Amino acid sequence: MDSRQFQAMQAQVRQLLVELTGKQVDELREMFDRCTSLADCLAIIEARGNRMRRCPHCQGERLYRHGVFYGLQRYRCRECGASFNALTGTPLAFIRLREKWLPFLQCMLNSMTVRGAAQAVGIHRNTSFRWRHRFTMMAKDARALPLGGIVEADETYIVESQKGSRNLTRPARRRGGTASHRGPGKEHDCILVACDRTGKASDFIAGRGPVTASQLQQCLPPVLAPGVLLATDGAVAYKAFARATGIQHRAVNVAAGVRVVDEVIHVQTVNSYHSRFKGWLRRFHGVASKYLPNYLGWRHALDAGRVPTPQHFLRAVLFLLVI
């Protein structure tokens, strides 16, 4: 539409607006919001498509444009003949209602429940649950690495949950319940968190029960920069891990009431991370153990305002940006 046509249409709309009721104005505003949301969403998706250089089916490099379908540019590979778009091969492929993606991501930034987000966006609760894990599935591994300087590491434990499972491997617990024994055991998921003093953090589901040196060996070395100083509590697993890897290590005897050693060695930063995560997770009234990595990634995105807007969230998901 050229400028003259737009000005003429604008004059006609201005005359009609004065005749609308308040409810009709609200409905019109919602319609424009949906159009804007869809345009923003498609622009972000197409930005990913413009960067595609390989076929997601055969990794071929001879691509050409092959029409537009549902607002998205499609491409075809000359080598295998398959067609695809910017979402092919991602967890977001085949998800409809793209005009509601950004409003839904805003609900995620607000840490809304499944039903709360469904009601706010206007989708079914099952769709809300599925979207939650489609988006977090792609963002769960986006971490700024490596961790350097003084790195704090500590583990926390959450009672294992088979929520939603049709085939329990143990007797059911009433409303989630508690473990049969005090202290961390095989009924607990071990969440290992490592963070440095610049705000970078990395987390892992180490396994079930108390953390072991072999689990630390699998998780920590890939995320630690050379020459780090590892600060932990007095758990023997960390001492064994430090000896095996040659990493400089200082332990804080938290069990004896010691909080800080040499004025700078402590584990209060990582313990604060644990506290924020558990407090935030409580609003969901229990989550299945198989989804814990997704919730860790979601919380990491929210922590310290790493993802300020739904547009930034969608870019982080589609481009696998470090957050």
Residue 277 pLDDT exceeds 70: yes
Above 80 in pLDDT, residue 17? no
Lowest mean pLDDT among 15-29, 110-124, 225-239: 15-29
- Per-residue pLDDT at 64: 95
Give the domain range for residue 229: 150-163+182-286
Does residue 49 lie in a domain region?
no
Q: How far apart are CA 56 and CA 311, in angstroms?
A: 24
21 band by pLDDT with thresholds 50, 70 and 90: confident
In the chain, the largest separation of any two C-alpha atoms, in whole Å, equals: 79
Let me know if residue 266 belongs to a domain.
yes
The DSSP-derived string for 292-317 is HHHHHHHHHHHGGGS--SHHHHHHHH
Q: What percent of the chain stands above pLDDT 70?
A: 97
* Any domain includes 187: yes
Average of pLDDT values for 181-187?
A: 86
Across 276-284, average pLDDT = 95
Q: pLDDT digits over 200-259, tens only?
A: 999 999 999 999 999 999 999 999 999 999 999 999 999 999 999 999 999 999 989 999
Per-residue b or e along 98-129, where b marks 16 or more CB atoms closer than 10 Å to that residue's CB: bbbbbbbbbbbbeebbbeebbebbebeeebbb
In 176-235, where does DSSP find H-type helix?
Answer: 213-219
Tell me the C-alpha distance between 105 and 111, whole Å.
Answer: 10
Residue 11 included in any domain: no
The two beta strands, 248-252 and 150-159, are unpaired
Residue 78's pLDDT band (cuts 50, 70, 90): very high
Residue 205 lies in a domain: yes
Structure tokens at 227: 């020459």
Residue at 251 is within a domain? yes
d(CA 254, CA 226) in angstroms, rounded, equals 26
Tell me: pLDDT of 122 over 90: yes
Q: Is the pLDDT score of 176 beyond 80? A: no
252/272 Cα distance (integer angstroms): 16
45 domain-assigned = no
Q: Are 281 and 299 in contact (CB under 8 A)?
A: yes
The total domain count for the chain is 1
Report which DSSP code applies to 249. E
- Cα 22 off chain centre by: 39
Transcribe 60-121 into DSSP letters: ---EEEEEEETTEEEEEETTT--EE-TTTTSTTTT---GGGHHHHHHHHHTT--HHHHHHHH
Report the pLDDT averaged over residues 43-56. 93
Instruction: Assess if residue 240 is contained within a domain.
Output: yes
pLDDT tens profile 81-109: 999 999 999 999 999 999 999 999 999 99
